[in-house]
Amino acid sequence: MADNARARKLADRIQVVVAETLDRRIKDPRLGFVTITDARVTGDLREATVFYTVYGDEEERAASAAALESAKGILRSEVGRQTGVRFTPTLTFVPDALPDNARTIEDLLHKARAKDAEVREVSTGKTYAGEADPYRKPEDEDARDDERGGDNPE
C-alpha cells in the first residue's frame, strides 16, 4: 500500500499529463472543449479516475466521452512514460458533476432571491406588532434601577 501523499502526487501528475496530452497529441475531431478537473488514484496506485467537463450540449459531451475512451491507450502510455511508476494505472474517465451541481445551486439561489423580494414587497409599509426593538439594552437597565430607588452604587 502506498501512502496518501504519494497517491495524491501521482494523481496531480496524471491530471497534468492527461491535460497536456489531450491538448498536444490527440487530434480526434470528436474531442470538444474538454477540461480535466481532477484525478484520483486508488491506494495501491493501480487505478486512476480522471474527472472532466465538456463545454457544449449533450451530443458534444457524448462525442467527447467516446473520443476519450478511444484515446485511453495513448493517454495511459504517456502517463506511464512521464510518471516513471512501476505499474501504470488504468485510466477511467468520468464526467464531472460539478457544473450541474453549480447550475442547481444557482437556480436555488435565484428562487431564494425571488422569495426574498416577494417578502420585502409584502412587508413594505407594515409596522411591527410590538416595539421596533424588543430587546433590553444596558442603558435601559440603568434607567430602571434609577427609577426603583437604585441598587446601583454609582
pLDDT, one tens digit per residue, over 80-123 is: 999 888 899 999 999 988 777 888 899 999 999 999 999 888 88
pLDDT digits (tens), the chain, 154 positions: 557 888 899 999 999 999 998 888 888 888 878 889 999 999 898 999 999 988 888 888 898 889 899 889 999 999 999 988 889 999 999 998 877 788 889 999 999 999 999 988 888 888 777 777 778 777 766 666 666 665 555 5
Check if the beta carbon of residue 14 is closer than 8 Å to that of residue 41.
yes
Q: Dihedral of CA 24/27/33/39: which sign?
A: negative
CA-atom Rg of the chain in angstroms: 30
pLDDT value of residue 145:
66
Query: Which candidate, 90, 84, 100, 105, places its Cα nearest to that of 39?
Result: 90
Specify the DSSP class assigned to residue 87. Answer: S
SS3 state at 103: helix
Say how far apart CA 12 and CA 71 lie, in whole Å: 20
Q: Which of 60, 82, 70, 72 lies closest to 12, judged by CA?
A: 82
